[in-house]
Structure 1
């Protein structure tokens, strides 16, 4: 096993270089570990999570008495670029972002391209009324409302009996 000389900082010095060194050291450690135990490439791990080309919308899920609400941040995407579907008790949100921006500034031609696709899947709880699901897109936020069934909305109190 080889040893490396690791640069350290005194506790009273600026913490940003320390963080940078810790991150570099962690990266080295991860590289050594991944080569030793043959971890899959990070691209495949991210791809399995439903992310391609580094784009994944942040998702918030909120439950109320009457519904579940799924909110996905999809800035820069039009509603036509996002697909929401339900099949076999799975809510699937997928989309693709593709944008090209070309301009000339001070005699230089600047061309920027951003792209990425994503797919997020969620297993629906049994109390969701799949026939009443609605989706809205406003200001870069996709909101999906998953209403609960009428039976789920009614709270049934269960009496607890004491045994002797």
Structure 2
């Protein structure tokens, strides 16, 4: 009787090749699930106040001059940019953690709004956008006519 030793590593080759192929596809195709990783986006609150939506976005370090807001019937796009401090006259950085660069964030809205009536304010690093909703036509109850 001859005993044969099983080669477990050889048996795992098809699994290893499958996993390698998956990773190769992810890297070569740049699937959407990996797009945008590492991008900074502001934290927001979307509040439904009945006749209007209110968006509050935390934008520390930004000023109204370096922000842009695009309002559409069913979404809002907030974008902005902060420049890096390059000229440091008194000393040198020991720690540098503050972020800089640009961002863009699209916020979909559950119902349509009136873009022409939207307004925005900025105070203490918080952007607030007021978005009046489109008035939904109310139906009516029909009376049934009889002869």
Asked whether the two chains share a fold, i.e. TM above 0.5, the reply is yes
Give, in whole Å, the separation in 1 of the partners of 2:42 and 2:26. 29
Task: Name structure 2 gaps, 5 residues minimum.
Answer: 1-7, 10-19, 142-147
More strand by share: 1
C-alpha RMSD of the superposition: 3.5
Change (3 A) 1:136 1:54: same
**What are the within-5 Å matches in structure 2 for residues 94-109 of structure 1?**
94-100=79-85, 102=88, 103-104=90-91, 109=92
Runs of 4+ in 1 over 6 A off after TM superposition: none
Give, in whole Å, the separation in 2 of the partners of 1:114 and 1:45. 20
Bigger radius of gyration: 2
Give, in whole Å, the separation in 2 of the partners of 1:114 and 1:124. 28
Give, in whole Å, the separation in 1 of the partners of 2:67 and 2:21. 38
Aligned match of 2:93: 110
Give, in whole Å, the separation in 2 of the partners of 1:55 and 1:126. 27
Task: Name structure 1 gaps, 5 residues minimum.
Answer: 3-31, 48-52, 160-164
Pairs aligned (count): 119
In the alignment, does 2:126 pair up with 1:141?
Answer: yes
**What are the within-5 Å matches in structure 2 for residues 1-164 of structure 1?**
35=23, 37-39=25-27, 40=30, 45-46=35-36, 54-87=39-72, 89-100=74-85, 102=88, 103-104=90-91, 109-110=92-93, 114-149=99-134, 151-152=135-136
Q: How far is 1:98 from its partner? A: 1.6
**Higher RCO, 1 vs 2 (CA within 8 Å, ≥6 residues apart):** 2
Q: TM-score, normalised by structure 1?
A: 0.56
Q: TM-score, normalised by structure 2?
A: 0.62
